[in-house]
Chains A and B, each alone.
Chain A
Amino acid sequence: MISVANLKKSYGDHTVLDGVSIEIQRGEVVAMIGPSGAGKSTLLRCLNLLERPDSGRITIGDTVVDLPAKIPVRTLETLRKTAGMVFQSFNLFPHLSVLRNVSLAQEYVLGRDAKAAHQRSMELLERVGLADKAGSYPARLSGGQQQRIAIARALAMEPEVMLFDEPTSALDPELGLDVLAVMRELAASGMTMVVVTHEIHFAQDVSDRVVMMADGGIIEQGDPAQVLSSPANPRTQRFLKAVIDR
């Protein structure tokens, strides 16, 4: 489903991704962990080209992006339609109601008619447990509710892959639970997911594979139980100890 080959990205002379390669199967849930500055967000943002990699190749579904060649607008559009993204800071549109947040892109980008978009939006709001908030504005909702709406908004584009960048980091632990529950359900439904997270429990219970990043590269990956409980790499050991002690 996703294939990344030798992806490189630097800001000035600071190398952030140093030739990253990874294959992700359809339906697989990958949890990405690693210290701050490891390049996790950058990798995720490169996958839907919010960030432009310097070189390498990205394949998502049928869409292939070869760098450093110029990326055709069509490719960009298809890639972003194929991969939905959920941000740490939710980024809901504050000037639109919850319903409009979910339906606008369906109409504007997918070209769905208003009625179909409305119906699909309500289904998705139902799915994340917030159908009763359809008429509210984001500012009136808790962070956990906002993040669930952000998930519904991304799902409305019918993506084949969902990318999550620390979706619960900005939330009180308690509020994060509802978001994690929605993500669990999504994983169970067979969605291909890449989740950058510090939630070790989520990684343990839900993911099929844990990928550990440090210094712009993947230093260890494998079965969650194995990587999380008996990591081979000393760097992973140190990182996990720090996360658990916190």
Chain B
Amino acid sequence: MIPLDVLGNAIVMTVVITVSSFLIGAILGVPLVLLRTSRFGVVRVLTRALIDVLRGVPPVVWIFILYFGVSSDVIKLDPLTAAIGGLGVISCAYLAEIYRGGLLSVHAGQTEAAQALGFGQVGIFTRIVAPQAFRVCLPSAATYGIGLLKDSSLASTIGVAEIAFRATAQARSGGDGITPFVIAGVLYIALSMPLAYLSRTLDTKLRMKVSV
């Protein structure tokens, strides 16, 4: 059997990769969506192209690009950083699109009402539009987060000692080949459950308050 502390470290590693890359996406997704919905057509088109490129390349390829490509003599990226960076890059693109859906769902009358009250652009965004868009985004963002949790297993390909990596190592070290992967699967499900639950309860709560 895998020693408990090794298992614990593997779980922590999976959580660190998932949470960090999600946060990178959640934060960098904001400027990205602002550019994506810019007043200027050129900016919109360029941002859209960028988002398509970021999303078009599979996660494992991004991780390899960062680990074997970018990581050269000049910059040295350790496996963990490369994994977080690779998944983070994709997350900003996906979350920017999720944000955009949320922003589009806010009725134009909201902006007009705020304008008529004398709010400026910044106030309209921060006080009126973004909070409403956020509620709409929540379920899709949580679903994306669960996807990201599963994608974090790709970090095993460059040797990050997270759950999938440990399961593979254990299976190879002989004995029973299936049990480590069953345990890994159970762990992934267990980790995703709180997220799914949180998203569902928050969603219902906010819906009760807000829906029209």
Chain A residues at the B interface, C-beta cutoff of 8 Å: 48, 50, 73, 77, 80-81, 83-85, 87, 89, 91-95, 104-105, 108-110, 137-139, 150, 153-154, 157
Report Cα–Cα, A83/B210, bound state, in Å.
28
Assess the B118–A87 pair: CB atoms within 8 A: no
Residues B119-172 near A (CB distance < 8 A): 119-120, 123, 127-128, 131-132, 135
Interchain CB contact (< 8 A) of B113 among A87, A108, A137: A87
Report Cα–Cα, A80/B82, bound state, in Å.
51
- If A94-B210, A95-B132, A139-B209 touch, whether A153 touches B117 (CB-CB below 8 Å) is yes
- If A95-B210, A108-B123, A137-B210 touch, whether A157 touches B113 (CB-CB below 8 Å) is no
Report Cα–Cα, A108/B109, bound state, in Å.
19
User: Is B110 interfacial (CB 8 A cutoff)?
Assistant: yes
Chain B residues with CB below 8 A from A50, complex form? 112, 115-116
Report Cα–Cα, A137/B211, bound state, in Å.
10
- If A139-B210, A139-B211 touch, whether A91 touches B110 (CB-CB below 8 Å) is yes
Assess the B119–A109 pair: CB atoms within 8 A: yes
Task: Report the interface size class on chain B.
Answer: 20 to 34
Assess the A91–B119 pair: CB atoms within 8 A: no
Looking across the interface, which residue of chain B has its beta carbon closest to that of A93? B128
Assess the B116–A48 pair: CB atoms within 8 A: yes
- If A91-B112, A94-B210 touch, whether A109 touches B117 (CB-CB below 8 Å) is yes
Report Cα–Cα, A85/B210, bound state, in Å.
23
Assess the A91–B109 pair: CB atoms within 8 A: yes
- If A95-B210, A137-B209, A139-B210 touch, whether A85 touches B110 (CB-CB below 8 Å) is no
